[in-house]
Amino acid sequence: MLDTHARKYVQPVIEGGAGRLLKLGLSANQVTAAAFIIGASAGIFIYIEMLWTAVFLLWFSGYLDAVDGAMARQTKTSPFGTVMDVTFDRLVELSVILGLAFLVPEAQWALLLLTASIIFSMTVFLTVGAVSEKQGMKSFYYQAGLAERTEGFLFFTVMILFPHLLVWTTLVFVLVETFTGLQRLREAKQVLQ
């Protein structure tokens, strides 16, 4: 929801970052790879209980993830860049979930439910994007929803910084993610029939 409705407020910062990185000679795919490495390392920092560092790395990777898309649109988008972007986003999320699972083993069942709800929501999202003839500013049809990447990062931030609330925060995230999947499924029925 925030990615769709609040993006216009942060877009100048994203575009500025894209311009600076392009001037340095970096490609969008290189920034995608850097965002992945930075974001995936957050899981390690969660496990070793450097929680503020993990949050910083997660959000910095998210910023670079937005910048790489702006870079691609300023130069040339590529289907493989889209595959890298979507795949690496999920791997960063898995890194955070694994870091939390190792940090708080008693929350593993809730984190497993969260993983299942993310798979459900992303399956609908990606399938609709693949079969839809519509295209948005990304290289496929982008379905907005209650939980987009920023909402996920907000949940992950609370989960990382307040591990004593991990089970309850995770269960709320599961509900929000499942609702988003159902929301996207309902929209898919309208768009694709």
The per-residue pLDDT for range 47-97, each reduced to its tens digit, is 999 999 999 999 999 999 999 989 998 888 788 988 999 999 999 999 999
**46 — pLDDT class (breaks 50, 70, 90):** very high
Residue 51 lies in domain: 2-192
What is the CATH classification number for the domain harbouring 182? 1.20.120.1760
148: exposed, middle or buried (Cβ count in 10 Å: 0-12, 13-18, 19+): buried
pLDDT for the residue 77: 79
10 Å CB burial of residue 106 (0-12, 13-18, 19+) is exposed
Number of domains forming the structure of the chain: 1
Taking CA atoms, 74 is separated from 22, 67, 70, 131, 149, in Å, by: 9, 10, 6, 26, 22
Q: What is the pTM of this model?
A: 0.89
Cβ(178)–Cβ(117) below 8 Å = yes
Strands (E), 86-193: none
Collapsed DSSP state (helix, strand, coil) of residue 54: helix
C-alpha Rg value of the chain to the nearest Å: 17
